[in-house]
Structure 1
Amino acid sequence: MSFHSVRAVTLDLDDTLWPIAPAIARAEVVLHRWLTANAPATAARFDIVALRARRDEVARARPDIAHDFSAVRRESVRLALIAAGDDPKLAEDAFDVFFAARHELDFYPEVEEALRRLSARFALLALSNGNADIARTTLAPWFRGGLSARELGFGKPDPRIFHEACRRLGCGPHEVLHVGDDLALDALGAHSAGLHSFWLRREPLPDAAAPVPDGVATVACLRTLADRLGC
């Protein structure tokens, strides 16, 4: 596979640059601790598991905001506050506390070195269906910016989000490489939109897994990606 035409790289965030599960788990603990101090009735009625279930209920019931994880989380907290008899106006402050904690991230070991190498040769743009803000992380200096489903109202694998990323980078789809951990959303979605793509798989596929589709390039980590691209 030739990458001579590539001028820019778009990168998924959650589970590509950092593991998301521990970050969300920590943020949910911080949120519940804040509710205990500021909305005790809500904290008593809704433990962390119940708050998570309320979030999932909102995502199912509100397809108009389901693409916006921030709006879903904020609305779920507001409804919990109402149900417990606390002031629903506290939802904004509660979400701000959660969102700040959500950005306390532990990057995969090779990420910072690999991004330094990649950014020396390519323009980098964050491209996510989640609500992580690359500007709130210490990785921000290596990126030209970010683009999310929250901002656009639609996400991967919709080709429009990939094409908007290309437009912002000033590149044609054939000049952009997308990298992400999700086969359907990232690798196949980008390929269908006319971009180059790599499926980032940090763990080998189990023996019983379906074979990797023809034409899908895989890479085990970003250091390997930088090597493959000659950075």
Structure 2
Amino acid sequence: MLDLARIRAITLDLDDTLWPVWPAIERAQAVLAQWLRAHAPATAERYRTPAALRAIRDQVERDRPDLGHDLGALRRESIRLALAQAGDDPALAEPAFALFFAERQRVDLYDGALDLLAFLSARYPVVALSNGNADVHAVGIGRYFAAALSACEFGVGKPDPRIFHAAARAAGVEPHAVLHIGDDATLDAQGALGAGMQAVWINRTAQPWPHAGPAPATVDGLGQLHGLLR
């Protein structure tokens, strides 16, 4: 299903591909809540429930559509708005977000992730390509990547073909020479195919392919990629 002879570079999603994202987000939210209780108690009390936090995030998404591609900026502005509405100092959003962001980088890699990164990076230039705000250097895996590209830096996110093409340029190859690997059927697999790349879909939960036409090469975890790419 893959034309291995065409592959000259790899682009690789991060969240829910190399690690599960929600445990990291939940830890970061807990650390943020603890910090707010100490430094902005009115905000901590007003936004102590998941529903209240979701409502403030939804409001920022409605009011600031320009931030739709930048999850970090959305989080920072949500904190700033929560502080202002609760009567606390909005300037506290900066240290609060810095704390959240640092904790968000503390991820638990899936089994086999480091072996896969070593395998891929020994054979190809590897470019991280993410709609999220993980930092491969802060996570501790930057040595495996030739470059990293995120939606917040580039201005648009997957599945827009422009960000895939920018990642190919960062790897120094044409899009047809790239294999993209990711967990999202639409953002990753279909997006890469639409950009003229090959794709591997990591489908850990045996979901049906949601698009017309045949599914791309599909695996149920990182361990199967070694055999697929040999």
Identify the TM-score tier after normalising by the shorter chain: over 0.9
Q: Give how far 1:117 is off.
A: 1.0
**Pair 1:71–1:226, CA change in 2 (3 A):** same
Q: Give how far 1:145 is off.
A: 2.2
- What corresponds to 1:221 in structure 2? 221
- What corresponds to 1:109 in structure 2? 111
Q: 2:76 aligns with which of 74, 91, 95?
A: 74
Query: 2:163 aligns to what SS in structure 1?
Result: helix
Asked if 1 retains the 8 angstrom alpha-carbon contact of 2:11 and 2:127, the reply is yes
- What corresponds to 1:43 in structure 2? 44
**Pair 1:212–1:114, CA change in 2 (3 A):** farther
- What corresponds to 1:170 in structure 2? 172
Query: 2:66 aligns to what SS in structure 1?
Result: coil
Asked if 2 retains the 8 angstrom alpha-carbon contact of 1:157 and 1:190, the reply is yes
Query: 1:89 aligns to what SS in structure 2?
Result: helix
Equivalent residue runs for 1:117-196 within 5 Å: 117-196=119-198
* Count of residues in Structure 1 that have an aligned counterpart in Structure 2: 228
Report the residue type matching 1:12 in the other structure. D
**Pair 1:76–1:210, CA change in 2 (3 A):** closer
**Pair 1:137–1:109, CA change in 2 (3 A):** same
Q: Deviations over 1:115-150 (max 9, x none)?
A: 111111111111011111112112211111210110
Query: Aligned-pair RMSD on alpha carbons?
Result: 1.6
Take 1:188 and 1:211, find their aligned partners in 2: how far apart are those partners?
8
Q: 2:58 aligns with which of 56, 68, 71?
A: 56
Take 2:46 and 2:136, find their aligned partners in 1: how far apart are those partners?
34
Query: 1:179 aligns to what SS in structure 2?
Result: strand
**Pair 1:31–1:197, CA change in 2 (3 A):** same
- What corresponds to 1:3 in structure 2? 4
Asked if 2 retains the 8 angstrom alpha-carbon contact of 1:135 and 1:145, the reply is no
Q: Which runs of 5+ in 2 are unaligned?
A: none
Q: 2:88 aligns with which of 83, 86, 89?
A: 86
- What corresponds to 2:20 in structure 1? 19
Take 2:86 and 2:61, find their aligned partners in 1: how far apart are those partners?
20
Is residue 2:196 matched to residue 1:203?
A: no
Report the residue type matching 2:23 in the other structure. P
Query: 1:198 aligns to what SS in structure 2?
Result: strand
TM-score (norm. length: structure 1): 0.94
Asked if 2 retains the 8 angstrom alpha-carbon contact of 1:28 and 1:48, the reply is no
Take 1:217 and 1:19, find their aligned partners in 2: how far apart are those partners?
21
Take 1:48 and 1:26, find their aligned partners in 2: how far apart are those partners?
15
Take 2:201 and 2:15, find their aligned partners in 1: how far apart are those partners?
14
The 10-residue stretch of structure 1 (19-28 or 57-66) with the greater mean CA deviation from structure 2: 57-66
Instruction: Choose between structure 1 and 2: higher helix proportion.
Output: 2
Q: Which runs of 5+ in 1 are unaligned?
A: none
